[in-house]
A and B are shown apart, each in its own frame.
Chain A
């Protein structure tokens, strides 16, 4: 272990000393992250509002919501196991039958916790 790492560890042991400290460079980096995040969040709608959207492009935009949801879910579930797949199935069925998102979420999360304990 090098000297500088030891100093770092010692500093961590008394975290409340610097709890309210704001390093100017750290603040600048955080603001830069905030700016690019706002650009990312608003950029898409900004563009769509500027350009003239043809019927053809509109047809593409119409399928975006479902496509994004599937694109987020697919790899997430592929990386999961039987417990996650079972939980997803529970959400699907409860949502389909009751149309209540809160009920579906509670049932799904409870099912995952239960399945993980068993599997």
Chain B
């Protein structure tokens, strides 16, 4: 994992990364590496955000122990499922007898948005080996997807960034789950410290990075309108999928038009 597969001019893109020019539209021109530097950069960039995510890990642990899961079971879920929203919804559905089908189907539905998010990383991740792609994607969450998208679009082809930031999130998520299940209800509401706003803030910051002139406007308006209406009409998180898909569909129809 330490070797880097660099192209002919590895650091060429760094020189232009400060300028918001044409480089994001042609990711194919940049070499994508997979090495310790990307792993470390991802980990360190994500630690402050992972600290905030840990607030949710504690909340999940409290809910899980209230639902009757043992410390070992809740920790196992955080370590293997590693999907915050889906896990919190799951322990809220958790009753005796366990509603197995509802739990599994809901988990899949809540996490389906990751399919779209993963596909959006294909221009960069696609040039790595399947093992690297799929192991990185297993540790993908909303927060590090956003950070990685930002990193790639800035012209830094460090493919291990997703994995490194995912490892940071995973560690904080698992440890905070243990804290939550052991501490039980003695922890206050994490939202008091603005923890619930961190994810929104990460995505607002990403909006600034993703803005690419007026061509961005039409798909964004479609995504905004669709998601707001869908969030009103449908339960769950289908609105993310619908918003992304309608905007992409519009672009497919408009192409060459």
Contacts and interface: CB of A to CB of B under 8 A. Distances in A.
B130 to A, nearest CB: 8
Given A48-B119, A91-B201, A29 B72 contact: no
Interface stretch (B5-13, B169-177, B248-256): B248-256
A82 to B, nearest CB: 13
A40 B114 contact: yes
A49 B243 contact: no
Interface string B210-224: 111000100110111
Contacts of A56: 252, 255-256
A64 B116 contact: yes
Contacts, number: 272
Nearest to A109: B194
Interface in A1-35: 8, 11-12, 15, 18-23, 25-27, 29-34
Q: Determine chain A's interface SS by DSSP, over half rule.
A: helix
B218 to A, nearest CB: 9
B125 interface: yes
A22 B76 contact: yes
Interface residues of B, number: 97
A59 B255 contact: yes
B70 A40 contact: no
Given A42-B138, A68-B117, A84-B200, A37 B86 contact: yes
Interface of B: 25, 45, 48-49, 52, 65-66, 68-73, 76-77, 80-83, 86, 90, 96, 98, 100, 103-104, 107-108, 111-122, 125-126, 133-134, 137-138, 140, 142, 146-147, 149-150, 153, 181-182, 184, 193-194, 197-198, 200-212, 216, 219-220, 222-224, 226-228, 230-231, 239-240, 242-244, 247-249, 251-252, 254-256
Pairs of residues from A and B, 8 with the lowest C-beta to C-beta distance, nearest first: A71-B243, A44-B115, A67-B247, A75-B231, A44-B119, A60-B248, A40-B111, A71-B227
Interface of A: 8, 11-12, 15, 18-23, 25-27, 29-34, 36-45, 47-49, 55-57, 59-80, 84, 87-88, 91-92, 95-96, 101-102, 104-105, 108-110, 112-113, 116
Given A60-B248, A69-B203, A71-B224, 9 more contacts: A8-B96, A12-B65, A21-B73, A30-B80, A36-B107, A40-B112, A56-B252, A64-B116, A67-B248
